[in-house]
Chains A and B, each alone.
Chain A
Amino acid sequence: MILKALFNFLIFPGFLFMVLFGLFLTWIDRKVTARIQWRKGPPIYQPYADALKLLLKETLVPNGAPKFLFLFSPLLGLVGVIIAGVILLSSQFSFTGDLIVIIYLFALPPIAIIIGGSSSKNPLSAVGASREMTLYFGYELPFLLALLVPVIKSGSIKISQILLYQENFGPILYSLSGVLAFIIALFSVQAKLGFVPFDIPEAEQEIMAGPLLEYSGVSLLFFKLMRAALLFLLPIFLIILFWGGIKTPWVILKFLFILVLLILLKNTNPRLRIDQALKFFWIILGLLGVVAVILAFNRL
């Protein structure tokens, strides 16, 4: 029993699988980006070479930074994502918990970035951390409103009940409120991944790498792996909640569709300012979310 749990957390569908597959997805991201810019793009082993190099490099801690917090925060983010992933991927079979656990676990990566950025003792990292905090408050409100739609429709906060509802009455996406909620959730996922219109915390041209500025070697690798695992998990999360679960083979096409949509959004948009992003999330998407929730109450 313990062995099985360990296997689940460390190998499949836990750490090893999620990280290796997530790195492959970052290769897809880079390759599609390259093709959009009429380039050839990196070879398929590129993300693995990056990971291996970071693993074997020196890890530096800035002078005067709190060592424990600085090195602990990347681990916190990665572990949060892995636990969320194990719960989500086994939700089809055994897990009977509810959505709130997942929401809290998905809050861990931004918290890790905020702690890491603030403990870096670098002014640019501090600016990045404060932007990450603002952005998190921005996208979390419409994201929660969007998640309310499947909850209202299925009448339960349990993931297994939501999946059961979709098996009986068809995916939640195929309704008016479902479409609205899906679009809102898609934008929030874009911001959760730190992709371009919302990469404000890491804005390369202004504050270099933001909260990740002082990280090197293994600690930087952990943040990269966290991002890679999120790139795998968040589309899966959307499919489970809105598009009928991950049991059928169609899930591969659905997954690729969401992934390529995210990458296209990333490559065709300029970065927003932090106040513009906040207005976009709270006013436009927030109002849309309220409309979606009202529609869901009226069974539309």
Chain B
Amino acid sequence: MKDLRVWGLKKSPWVFHVAAASCNNCDIEILDVLTPRFDVERFGIVLVGSPRHADALLVTGVLNRKSLPRVLRVYEQTPKPCLVIAVGTCACDCHMFKDSYNVVGPYDRHLPVDVYIPGCPPKPEAIIAGVVKALSKL
């Protein structure tokens, strides 16, 4: 039963893109990953429009006081089991904004993050490699 669940999750991870106050650079790289050039549908990865359908949340941007409750709400709306993938240096460790008065810290202080993909922004290849690592960890 558990094997079946893991196999299903591994073979068809549907991702939902949570852009929480990022500078849009990582968002654009994520869109790059989903273009026909990289063809992630080979691995069953599909971008979905609703957190209810999602198996993996791609979170980008530096987490601040305004975006924290929204991100937590999206995480609660996602049916479990789900992965959280932090894309970009901001999402991993707040980057150069770490001393700002409005920043409430990296994602792993509030959510169980499964993978960290550093880079400003990370290359599409790096994002794919990170997702593959997350899936092989299951």
Contact = CB atoms under 8 A, between A and B. Distances in A.
Contact of B8 (A41, A52, A60, A213): A52
A39 B77 contact: no
Contacts of B53: 209, 212, 215-216, 220
Interface string B1-45: 100110111011000000000000000000000001001011010
A60 B44 contact: no
A45 interface: yes
Given A60-B52, A220-B52, A41 B42 contact: yes
Interface stretch (A30-38, A159-167, A259-267): A30-38
Contacts of B11: 45-46, 49, 53
B41 A53 contact: no
A201 to B, nearest CB: 13
A46 B12 contact: yes
Given A50-B44, A214-B50, A39 B39 contact: yes
Nearest to B5: A56
How many chain A residues sit at the interface, stated as a range, is 20 to 34
Contact of B50 (A42, A53, A213): A213
A208 interface: yes
Contact of B41 (A39, A49, A56, A208): A39
B35 to A, nearest CB: 9
A37 B79 CA distance: 32
Given A39-B41, A216-B79, A204 B9 contact: no
Given A49-B12, A214-B52, A217-B79, 10 more contacts: A39-B41, A46-B12, A52-B7, A55-B8, A59-B79, A212-B50, A213-B49, A214-B50, A220-B52, A220-B53
